[in-house]
Amino acid sequence: MPETIDKKKQTAIKRACKATVMPLDQIPEGPLSLDFFRKLPQGTIIRLYYWTINRGSFYWKHNKVCESTERVDGEFFYPTEMDEWSGLDDTLYVFGDSVCRGSGAEPVHGHKPTESDR
């Protein structure tokens, strides 16, 4: 039996994310680097976008950067697919000079794609 999404929980998390998400003027243009995540305080919520292979966005709740593995620990929340945070066992990783998510080395950005990015 497929899991159902609790719409009330989903809406509450979406509202909380929108209210606390990091302002765009504090996020650099282009793919985000590990240096950007090193400066984030624990608990910061940022909306991340991807569009190199797939297209979409998710909220990321930052926990820490693991220097030995060059990974970023935290939790994710896809606003159209989930009704709770993923848990602290998720990571973003470095490929080339960019922090990525997913199996396709998909760089994450802090800004929506422009026409030239699509």
Residue 34 domain-assigned? yes
Query: What does the pLDDT profile of the chain (118 residues) look like in tens digits?
Result: 346 778 888 888 888 888 788 888 889 989 999 999 999 999 999 999 999 888 889 999 999 999 999 999 999 998 888 888 888 778 999 998 899 987 778 999 998 887 666 5
Instruction: State the pLDDT at residue 38.
Output: 95
Q: Considering its fold, how many domains does the chain have in total?
A: 1
Q: Could you tell me the residue range of the domain that residue 64 belongs to? A: 7-117
Kindly give the residue spans of alpha helices, DSSP state H, lying in 5-111.
7-20, 34-38
Assess if residue 109 is contained within a domain.
yes
Strand order through the sheet with 98-101: 45-50, 56-66, 71-77, 90-95, 98-101, 106-107
Query: Using CA atoms, how far apart are residues 28 and 33, in angstroms rounded to an integer?
Result: 9
Query: Would you say residue 66 lies in a domain?
Result: yes
Q: Is the residue at 72 inside a domain? A: yes
Q: What is the pTM of this model?
A: 0.86
In a domain, 15, yes or no: yes
Q: How many residues does the chain have?
A: 118
38 within domain boundaries: yes
- Specify the pLDDT at position 112: 83
| Residue 99 CB-half CA count within 13 A | 23
Q: Is residue 52 part of a domain?
A: yes
- Is residue 1 domain-resident? no
